[in-house]
Amino acid sequence: MINREDMLELTRRMTPKRTSFTRIAGAYMDKDGEMDGSFNTNFLNLSTGEQEKNLAIAKTIPFSETNEQLKEYSFTSKGKGSIWQLLMGMRQCGLKNDALMYTFYEHVAEHYRAEEEYAIFIFHDRYDVPVKGTDKERLGESEEVYEYLICAICPLMGEYEPGKPECGFLFPAFLARSCDMEHVAVFQADSRNPHLELIEKILGVKEENAKEEGIER
């Protein structure tokens, strides 16, 4: 189950002054999944205005309603050729490997169902997680670096102008203020009409069984 405070800990840093985002990459797709351009750049090279606009997109995923719009899922496969392996490669290279990025865009395009043009945005970040006591006060320097990706899939409102994300994910999951490689947090803007293809085809994940865990979602 996703802890709201864990997500707020991430989003509090998503401002131009506090961000530690290293890179942003993405692709623009037509409704049939054909690529109409791509980009890949150092996040800090963006203007303040562009940083603000892109941070708002990234922030939508972890800031959403936890355990309703944003749910925890586990991977069904982590072997060779799996999406988990691809995401791990993208994370480890900090989005700098264009071959991996294009493989991901093509994988999304193959399965994503869109009625209009859309954009795929990927963000990379490294967060030095500070040690905190039971009273939530910071105790000292970090003991862990949480390196993660945020993916947002957005409809295009104009020429290369993304609207609010319709779906996306946070990988690896950030659970108990720590990196959890076994899970991914999946975002659906409309939880009643989700993009099931993101769960079933693109990520190939399954929702944790809340009843077995004794958790109400």
pTM of the model: 0.91
Handedness of CA 145, 8, 156, 82 (dihedral sign): positive
Using 50, 70 and 90 to split pLDDT, how confident is the model at 215? very low
**What value does the mean pLDDT take over residues 156-184?**
95
Q: What is the CA radius of gyration of the chain?
A: 17
**What value does the mean pLDDT take over residues 163-176?**
96
Q: Which two tokens stand for residue 210?
A: 């809340």
**What value does the mean pLDDT take over residues 195-203?**
97
The pLDDT assigned to 169 comes to: 98
Alpha-carbon distance of 157 to 164, in angstroms, equals: 9
Using 50, 70 and 90 to split pLDDT, how confident is the model at 212? very low
CA distances from 128 to 77, 96, 121, 144, 181 (A): 29, 21, 23, 6, 17
Closest to 104 in 3D by CA, of 47, 195, 25: 25
Q: What is the pLDDT of residues 59-111, one digit of tens each?
A: 999 999 999 999 999 999 999 999 999 999 999 999 999 999 999 999 999 99
Q: What is the pLDDT of residues 114-131, one digit of tens each?
A: 989 999 999 999 999 988
Q: Which two tokens stand for residue 31?
A: 């409704």
pLDDT at residue 198 greater than cutoff 60? yes
Helix axes 98-111, 83-92, angle to 10 degrees: 140
Backbone angles phi, psi at 87, to 5 degrees: -65, -35
**What value does the mean pLDDT take over residues 40-44?**
97
Using 50, 70 and 90 to split pLDDT, how confident is the model at 217? very low
Closest to 199 in 3D by CA, of 86, 70, 96, 103: 70
The pLDDT assigned to 141 comes to: 65
Alpha-carbon distance of 105 to 168, in angstroms, equals: 13
The string of DSSP codes covering 149-203 is: EEEEEEEEEETTEE-S-SEEEEESEEETTEEETTEEEEEESSTTS--HHIIIIII
**For the chain, domain boundaries:** 4-208
Q: What is the pLDDT of residues 140-160, one digit of tens each?
A: 566 799 999 999 999 999 889
**What value does the mean pLDDT take over residues 189-198?**
96
pLDDT at residue 40 greater than cutoff 80? yes
Q: State the chain's mean pLDDT as an integer.
A: 91
The pLDDT assigned to 140 comes to: 57
**What value does the mean pLDDT take over residues 192-208?**
94
